[in-house]
């Protein structure tokens, strides 16, 4: 606890805020890419303490939110099969597909189980050889190594009843796509610390150089975020565009090479459609040819599904920072955590859910005290 307390100290937070107010001479717009960081910002009310004019734009980094609708609909189709035990992290259970969600499917009798690690799913496959155990392998670079390890472990064990529904997404192509948009307002990025713990930050250096945008690798505690924002503002004020590392206690430039090797062995880069954003070239991971026998979509023949987003949901504008949740006509009325129309209202890391949990209303837009 002491370790955590050090990164939540109110006096240190105040001194960082004081420094920010001294340093920031102009309005700046900084995007935190990661949903976990959005959650901390909103949960701690940090964005409301920032100097006037310094605006945080919430990025596309909620893995639950950006998982393509097609992947979810495939997941429902697989999970509904009687021979299947479908496993997933808890926060995927409420995400609405075109017609239903995994939690509702479970209530109607499907064998859907929450796991805390993909290895738990492998263990179920070992323990229940008569069941076809499927793991929903989604998320950013953060979760890819563990999912790759699970596939390797299943192969080592010779398991014929384990497969994965893979829909990983990669952060740098999303950042590039945002920057390439002529309407992009982002002037600096806070890069997600845990993604960089795996992948390092070398791949961000060409982005910073080409787009002349400061990128600060940042952790998830309140003081991490305040320090990350301060470092980004200092770069902006000084006209620098570098990749800096606020999260030095966990991240090295080259990242975790072993994890990268495992990912490179099991997955290969592919084009991916991001929910709410659309297709981004080379922005996802799928199983490499040597591992396609572990592909649940092929095994259960659910490659072709027809998916349709709820017409009222403005997920794309939310995930790219173009709109605030409170701009949405359905927010808090027809779209709540209880009845989500789109993914950002589902996961705790979703921008809409974070706003809703913090009691932000359309009458009192972000930036004003609740």
CA distance 148 to 45: 36
For the bound state, the minimum distance from the C-beta of residue 288 to another protein, rounded and expressed in Å, comes to 22
Q: Position of tokens 């479908």?
A: 86
Site string for another protein, 315-354 (x = CB under 8 A): ----------------------xx--------xxx-----
Site string for another protein, 49-68 (x = CB under 8 A): x-------------xx----
Applying CB under 8 A, among 98, 256, 358, 362 the residue interacting with another protein is 358
The residue (of 227 and 241) whose beta carbon lies closer to another protein is 227
> Applying CB under 8 A, does 4 fall inside the site for another protein?
yes
3-state secondary structure of 295: strand
For the bound state, the minimum distance from the C-beta of residue 44 to another protein, rounded and expressed in Å, comes to 5
> Applying CB under 8 A, does 197 fall inside the site for another protein?
no
The residue (of 51 and 337) whose beta carbon lies closer to another protein is 337
Q: What are residue 280's DSSP bridge partners?
A: 272
DSSP string for 2-35: HHHHTTS-HHHHHHHHHHHHHH--S-EEEEEEEH
Applying CB under 8 A, among 60, 97, 139, 228 the residue interacting with another protein is 139
The residue (of 213 and 341) whose beta carbon lies closer to another protein is 341
Q: Position of tokens 């606890």?
A: 1
Applying CB under 8 A, among 19, 23, 29, 44 the residue interacting with another protein is 44
The residue (of 33 and 184) whose beta carbon lies closer to another protein is 33
For the bound state, the minimum distance from the C-beta of residue 331 to another protein, rounded and expressed in Å, comes to 14
Select from 337, 339, 278, 347 the least CA-distant residue to 58: 347
The residue (of 136 and 236) whose beta carbon lies closer to another protein is 136
β-strands 243-245, 215-218 pairing: parallel
DSSP string for 198-258: HH-SGGGHHHHHHHT--EEEE-SSHHHHHHHHHHHHHHHHHT---EEES-TTT--TT--HH
Applying CB under 8 A, among 84, 93, 171, 215 the residue interacting with another protein is 93
Applying CB under 8 A, among 222, 284, 325, 332 the residue interacting with another protein is 222
Q: How far apart are the first and last CA of the chain?
A: 29
Long-range contacts of range 122-129, CB-CB < 8 Å, 24 or more positions apart? 122/150, 122/153, 122/154, 122/157, 122/159, 122/162, 124/85, 124/87, 125/154, 125/159, 125/161, 125/162, 126/157, 126/159, 128/85, 128/161, 129/161
The whole-angstrom distance between residue 277's C-alpha and the CA centroid of its chain comes to 13
Pick out residues in 97-126 that bind another protein (CB under 8 A).
Answer: 114, 116
- Applying CB under 8 A, the residues found at the interface with another protein are 1-2, 4, 8-10, 13-14, 17, 36, 42-46, 48-49, 63-64, 89-94, 114, 116, 138-140, 142-143, 194, 222, 226, 337-338, 347-349, 356-360, 369-370
């Amino acid at each position: 606890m002491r370790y955590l307390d050090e990164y939540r100290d109110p006096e240190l937070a105040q001194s960082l805020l004081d420094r920010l107010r001294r340093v920031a001479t102009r309005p700046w717009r900084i995007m935190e890419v990661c949903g976990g960081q959005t959650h901390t910002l909103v949960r701690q009310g940090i964005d409301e303490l920032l100097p006037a004019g310094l605006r945080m734009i919430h990025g596309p980094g909620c893995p639950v939110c950006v998982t393509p609708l097609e992947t979810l609909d495939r997941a429902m189709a697989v999970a509904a099969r009687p021979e299947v035990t479908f496993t997933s992290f808890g926060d995927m259970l409420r995400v609405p597909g075109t017609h239903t969600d995994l939690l509702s499917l479970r209530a109607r009798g499907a064998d859907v189980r929450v796991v805390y690690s993909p290895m738990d799913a492998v263990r179920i496959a070992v323990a229940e050889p008569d069941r076809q155990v499927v793991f929903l392998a989604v998320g950013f670079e953060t979760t890819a190594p563990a999912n790759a390890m699970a596939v390797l472990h299943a192969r080592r064990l010779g398991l014929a009843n384990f497969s994965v529904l893979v829909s990983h997404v990669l952060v740098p192509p999303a950042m590039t796509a945002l920057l390439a948009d002529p309407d992009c307002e982002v002037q600096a990025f806070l890069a997600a610390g845990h993604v960089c713990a795996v992948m390092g930050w070398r791949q961000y250096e060409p982005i910073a150089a080409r787009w002349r945008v400061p990128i600060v690798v940042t952790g998830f505690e309140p003081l991490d975020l305040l320090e990350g924002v301060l470092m980004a503002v200092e770069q902006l004020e000084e006209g620098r565009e570098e990749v800096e590392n606020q999260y030095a206690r966990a991240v090295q430039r080259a990242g975790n090479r072993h994890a990268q090797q495992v990912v490179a062995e099991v997955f290969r880069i592919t084009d991916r459609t991001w929910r709410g954003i659309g297709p981004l070239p080379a922005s996802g991971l799928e199983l490499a040819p040597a591992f396609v026998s572990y592909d649940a979509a092929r095994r259960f023949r659910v490659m072709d599904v027809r998916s349709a987003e709820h017409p009222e949901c403005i997920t794309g504008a939310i995930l790219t920072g173009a709109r605030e949740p409170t701009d949405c006509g359905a927010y808090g009325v027809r779209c709540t955590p209880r009845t989500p129309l789109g993914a950002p209202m589902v996961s705790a890391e979703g921008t809409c859910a974070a706003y809703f949990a913090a009691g932000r209303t359309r009458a009192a837009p972000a930036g004003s005290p609740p």
